[in-house]
Amino acid sequence: MPNQNLQDSLLNNSFDIVIIGGGMVGASLAAGFAQQNKSVLVIERARPDNDWLSQPPLRVSAVNRYSETWLQSVGCWNDIDKADKCQFNRLATWEKGTDKVEFSAEELQESHLGHLIRNEALQLACYSALEKNDSDKVSFMYGGQIDQVQNNTNNVIITGRTKDDKAFTVNTLLLVGADGANSKVRQLAKIGVTGWDYQQACFSITIKTNFATQDITWQEFQPSGPKAFLPLNDGFASLIWYDSKSTISALKGLSDQALKQAIIETFPELPGDFDIIQHASFPLTRRQANQYNNGRIVLVGDAAHTINPLAGQGVNLGYKDNATLLSLMQDSDLKDFDRLVKSLKRYTIKRKADSLLMSGVMDGFYHLFSNDKAPLKKARGVMLSLANHFSFAKKSVIKKALGF
Ligand SMILES: Cc1cc2nc3c(=O)[nH]c(=O)nc-3n(C[C@H](O)[C@H](O)[C@H](O)COP(=O)(O)OP(=O)(O)OC[C@H]3O[C@@H](n4cnc5c(N)ncnc54)[C@H](O)[C@@H]3O)c2cc1C
């Protein structure tokens, strides 16, 4: 069993790695470092709770094949309960009023295209893997807060307060910020961000359906924003409604009955009846940390980058960050400052290029599809029709997006 919240024994302790944020990205990174026999402390705001899974799903991620393989390699895949991961074999996208472009696992000669997984299940599977495997290599501190970091050449000194308001100080050779979009680590490391908020917002609605679980996920582009369907097990599904902030705000105020009617009028026809279970709205932001490292501090996941979720790539980018960082740290002597910084710079260059490319592609889709201007309408019509007719291009694009 890993050390669970041993707060007193952590005061004035040293670890090879300290990870702030044990979300889907940070917790799986801890599993990877534990495999490398490094001592790790994860400081996480809230302890994940198994009871979360008895609630209906709300936040769901499309996890691509690359991420699946990587999560398997660090032991965080098998503990995701079958009921919490819904395999999809087909993916369709189209502009309202035009032909569908559909991709299938069969035509790509693959067993499946990916899985839709509720975020809590993914995070809990990482904790379960950590508990099973690397014994005393990983420690946790829950509910504490960090106040300051000293980014020295021989270590990073982190000071903060535990949940019980005791002051603590820990030393580490590498501090990882995996603490999400509003990263405190990024701020304490004095790493700036560039980015903007999109005009659109996103409304995620969990429905319980009376039809069998679908093996297809789809997205219809409309001038007001995409409308997407993500199947989940047990008759649940997630509908994602992108629209102007004012429309999303109005939708939030509707009764379940009125919201259901709005869905029927706005979404493509669903295969059967459904009930509204719950919903939440999310702002859409694009952020890029100006660097992903500074001295002995490095950022992963949303702490480094947030992108428009319209093609469900955010957490998948985070897993690529993890895989790159782990491979660069595999044989690295963390004590050697110059070599460590060289490796972290390589990490930044590699990962920033990839995430900027993905953000750019998402923005291209966002601007191309979220309007009704005639020339753009023509351009996207041509693009989708080409995608439908040139199977080689179609296969290449989808393989890249799905992480094969
Ligand atoms: C509507 C929507 C739909 C999305 N759909 C997809 C999708 O289909 N596929 C996909 O790949 N991505 C998707 N994403 C993106 C994905 O959710 C994020 O990329 C992912 O959650 C990032 O994981 P993370 O672990 O880096 O950050 P987070 O999930 O934000 O986790 C950060 C963790 O750090 C902890 N924390 C924060 N601050 C502190 C602190 N100071 N001290 C200690 N702990 C702290 C938090 O409690 C949390 O556990 C979507 C995003 C949105 C908004």
Mutate to test the pocket of ligand 1, among 7, 20, 24 (most ligand atoms within 8 A of CB): 24
CATH of domain 7-50+123-194+286-366: 3.50.50.60
Residue 379 CA to ligand 1 center (angstroms) comes to 34
Nearest CA to ligand 1 atom 9: 312
Outline where DSSP puts E strands in 21-111.
40-44, 60-64, 85-88, 90-95, 101-104
Q: Nearest Cα to 171, choosing from 334, 383, 2, 357?
A: 334
Q: Which atom of ligand 1 is nearest to the CA of 178?
A: 26
Cβ neighbours of residue 7 closer than 8 Å, sequence gap 6 or more: 141, 144, 162, 163, 164, 166, 168
Contact, 122 vs 96, CB < 8 A? Answer: no
3-class secondary-structure state, position 53: helix
- Per-residue pLDDT, averaged over 299-326, amounts to 92
User: Residue 12 — left, alpha, or beta (φ > 0 → left; ψ -120 to 50 → alpha)?
Assistant: left
Residue 24 CA to ligand 1 center (angstroms) comes to 7
User: Residue 250 — left, alpha, or beta (φ > 0 → left; ψ -120 to 50 → alpha)?
Assistant: alpha
Q: Which atom of ligand 1 is nearest to the CA of 313?
A: 11
Tokens representing residue 18 in the block: 């300290």
Q: Where in the chain is the domain with CATH 3.50.50.60?
A: 7-50+123-194+286-366
- Per-residue pLDDT, averaged over 99-103, amounts to 86
Residue 45 CA to ligand 1 center (angstroms) comes to 13
Mutate to test the pocket of ligand 1, among 315, 316, 325 (most ligand atoms within 8 A of CB): 315
User: In whole angstroms, what is the distance from residue 376 CA to residue 142 CA?
Assistant: 50
Residue 301 CA to ligand 1 center (angstroms) comes to 8
Would you say domain 60-121+198-285 falls under CATH 3.40.50.620?
no
Quickly state the pLDDT bin for 129 (edges 50, 70, 90).
Answer: confident
User: In whole angstroms, what is the distance from residue 145 CA to residue 11 CA?
Assistant: 13
pLDDT of residue 379: 56
Q: Where in the chain is the domain with CATH 3.30.9.10?
A: 60-121+198-285
Higher pLDDT, 5 or 40: 40
- DSSP lists the bridge partners of residue 62 as 116
CB count within 10 Å of CB 269 equals: 6
pLDDT of residue 1: 41
Helices 391-401 and 374-389 cross at an angle (nearest 10°) of: 100
Quickly state the pLDDT bin for 83 (edges 50, 70, 90).
Answer: confident
Query: 296-307 burial string, b = 16+ CB within 10 Å, else e?
Result: bbbbbbbbbbbb
Residue 4 has pLDDT above 60, yes or no: no
Residue 220 CA to ligand 1 center (angstroms) comes to 25
Ligand 1 environment, Cβ below 6 A: 20-26, 43-46, 61-62, 178-180, 184, 202, 204, 282, 301-302, 309, 312-316, 318
Angle ∠(292,293,298) on CA atoms, nearest 5: 90
Mutate to test the pocket of ligand 1, among 188, 218, 302 (most ligand atoms within 8 A of CB): 302
User: In whole angstroms, what is the distance from residue 317 CA to residue 307 CA?
Assistant: 10
Say how many CA atoms lie within 13 Å of 22 toward its Cβ.
Answer: 29
Quickly state the pLDDT bin for 310 (edges 50, 70, 90).
Answer: confident
Residue 117 CA to ligand 1 center (angstroms) comes to 14
Residue 115 has pLDDT above 80, yes or no: yes
| 343 φ, ψ (degrees, to nearest 5) | -65, -40
Q: Which atom of ligand 1 is nearest to the CA of 21?
A: 34
Place of tokens 């908020």: 197
